[in-house]
Amino acid sequence: MQRYVCGICGYVYDPAVGDPEGGVKKGVPFEKLPEEWVCPVCGAAKDEFAPE
Amino acid sequence: MNSPFKAVKMTDHVWWVGAIDWNIRDFHGYLTKRGSTYNAYLILADKVTLIDTVKAPFREEMMERIASVIDPGRITYIVSNHSEMDHSGCLAEVIAAVKPEKVFASAVGSRSLKEILPIEREITAVRDGEKLSLGNLNLSFMETRMLHWPDSMFSYLNEEQVLFSQDAFGMHYASLERFDDECDPAILAYEAATYYANILLPYSPLVQKLFEKVTAAGLNFRLIAPDHGPIWRRDIGGIIERYAKWAAQKPTDKAVVVYGTMWHSTEKMARAISEGLSRGGLHVKLMSMSEAHRSDVMYEILGAGALAVGSSTLNNQMLPAIADVMTYMKGLKPRNLVGAAFGSFGWSGEAVKQLEGILAEMKVENGGEGISVKNVPDDEALSRCYDLGITMAEKVKGRR
């Protein structure tokens, strides 16, 4: 599944890992993340992310 | 030019040319009781290089220190390790004055500097791992995004093993002593810790990742030169060890009780909880927000295992001073805490629920049910508070 990079801080969202701290189980593709989901490192919104 | 401001020699080629801010006491919400310094460094290589500048009002001090060893017009390269204005504040003016061949920053820095400062010319973006030749010496760059800004990077002078670490390993401490071995170790220990707690704590996972990366690269450091405070020369191992410890956020046997009170009732509850926590074997720091500063609370939170927060209810809200410290604390993301909320109220009493909401958002482990008491706590209520302290202490001790 496609990984996405935060344009602000470089954090990589990897669907294989999910975002456990943010309540996102592994296997969730980036497109399916809720609109309010933010980068767990710097708080940037989804629209700051780009495919890796 | 005969200014009293002189450069300080660090190695054969590196000089400190920064500024000392003896009087600053507020650093965007962080109480800096010992003032600070803005460190800039000059590398007298074939290509004379300036690492970072200083906060705008201190530009002349820096320029005079540079002039004490070389004509500033000879500066060929300027490197910005960090865009924040205590280090970039006079960059535009310095560029205009010395007309360097090139100005370097991280990819993010090369954009953000032009967004916050009146800089027209191009800033060259450098990549993680890129090496810049200064002629007889070489400068490597290491991206350190979110330590503590997106633009942050380190520079490393290979031949002399000097790490220019911008805010990392720094502290707000104004002094004429420039090196760690010249300073009181107790002051360094305190100021380095409170700096970490107030500035770097939320990025602890990134600190750990950075350490892995640096260890893998096998770098040795003769000097660590941060952008605030003394240069690490003798106790490099010590400060790195402490950063690793703070970044791991392993909880200790320390409890912090923070409270606000209107007529001493919440205070009485705070004292009873503290006695219980102590009886349960924890070291307790009791902090009234009418007296304590938010940055001092964070110093105590560093490494703490338990947090109890108390507030009266004022116009359906927690007290403003409590909202202040909890907003600040939440942003700094302390981890591995056991917590609980408490407070006395007159009639509506929303504060305790609001505090529990914040503790949950902060992912604080529930240490016990919150205690809400109408008016003045009687012996029974104070006994419940004491027991809450005991319960929280048991939870903290049970995890270790």
Span B303-332, pLDDT tens digits: 999 999 999 999 999 999 999 999 999 999
Whole-number pLDDT of residue B339: 98
Q: Is the pLDDT of residue B113 over 90?
A: yes
Alpha-carbon distance B128 to nearest alpha carbon in chain A (angstroms): 12
Whole-number pLDDT of residue B348: 96
CA B333 vs. chain centroid, Å, equals: 13
Whole-number pLDDT of residue B119: 97
Q: Residue B40 and residue B228: Cα distance in Å, rounded?
A: 9
Asked if A21's CB is within 8 angstroms of B150's CB, the reply is: no
The pLDDT > 90 percentage for chain B reads 96
Alpha-carbon distance A17 to nearest alpha carbon in chain B (angstroms): 16
B172 a catalytic residue: no
Superfamily of chain region B8-247: Ribonuclease Z/Hydroxyacylglutathione hydrolase-like (3.60.15.10)
Residue B310 contacts by C-beta under 8 Å, 6 or more apart in sequence? B257, B258, B259, B260, B261, B266, B269, B270, B273, B322, B341, B342, B343, B355
Q: Is the pLDDT of residue B217 over 90?
A: no
**B30: amino acid identity, one letter:** Y
Residue B150: which of A37, A44, A18 has the closest Cα?
A44
Average pLDDT over residues B161-173: 98
Superfamily of chain region B254-395: Flavodoxin domain (3.40.50.360)
Q: Per mean pLDDT, which range of A34-43, B43-52, B148-157 is the poorest?
A: A34-43
Q: Is the pLDDT of residue A8 over 90?
A: no
B13 a catalytic residue: no
Cβ-contact B151, B106 below 8 angstroms: yes
Whole-number pLDDT of residue B182: 98
Bridge partners for B79 per DSSP:
B51, B104
Whole-number pLDDT of residue A43: 85
Q: Is the pLDDT of residue A21 over 90?
A: no
Asked if A21's CB is within 8 angstroms of B146's CB, the reply is: no
Copy the structure tokens of residue B193.
Answer: 């810790």
Mean pLDDT of chain B: 97
Identify which has the larger pLDDT, A42 or B169.
Answer: B169
B148 a catalytic residue: yes
What residue ranges of chain B are covered by domains with CATH 3.60.15.10? 8-247
Q: Is the ipTM of this complex over 0.85?
A: no
Q: Is the pLDDT of residue B115 over 80?
A: yes
Q: Is the pLDDT of residue B400 over 70?
A: no
Asked if B363's CB is within 8 angstroms of A9's CB, the reply is: no
Residues of A whose CB is below 8 A from B333: none
Average pLDDT over residues B242-268: 97
Average pLDDT over residues B146-151: 93
Q: How confident is the model at residue B5 (pLDDT cuts 50, 70, 90)?
A: very high
Whole-number pLDDT of residue A41: 86
Whole-number pLDDT of residue B149: 95
Q: How confident is the model at residue A22 (pLDDT cuts 50, 70, 90)?
A: confident
Q: Per mean pLDDT, which range of A8-22, B25-39, B283-297, B328-342 is the poorest?
A: A8-22
What predicted TM-score, i.e. pTM, was given to this entire model? 0.94
B84 a catalytic residue: yes
The pLDDT > 70 percentage for chain B reads 100
Residues of B whose CB is below 8 A from A10: 143, 145-146, 150
Residue B59 contacts by C-beta under 8 Å, 6 or more apart in sequence? B53, B89, B90, B93, B94
Whole-number pLDDT of residue B1: 63
Q: How confident is the model at residue A18 (pLDDT cuts 50, 70, 90)?
A: very high
Which position has the token pair 């002399």?
A: B160
Q: Per mean pLDDT, which range of B126-135, B205-214, B362-371 is the poorest?
A: B205-214
Average pLDDT over residues B182-194: 98
What residue ranges of chain B are covered by domains with CATH 3.40.50.360? 254-395
Asked if A41's CB is within 8 angstroms of B206's CB, the reply is: yes
Average pLDDT over residues B17-34: 97
Asked if A21's CB is within 8 angstroms of B145's CB, the reply is: no
Q: How many C-beta atoms surround the C-beta of residue B98 within 10 A?
A: 18
Strands laid side by side in the B153-157 sheet: B131-133, B138-143, B153-157, B162-164, B223-225
Residue B24: which of B172, B148, B169 has the closest Cα?
B172
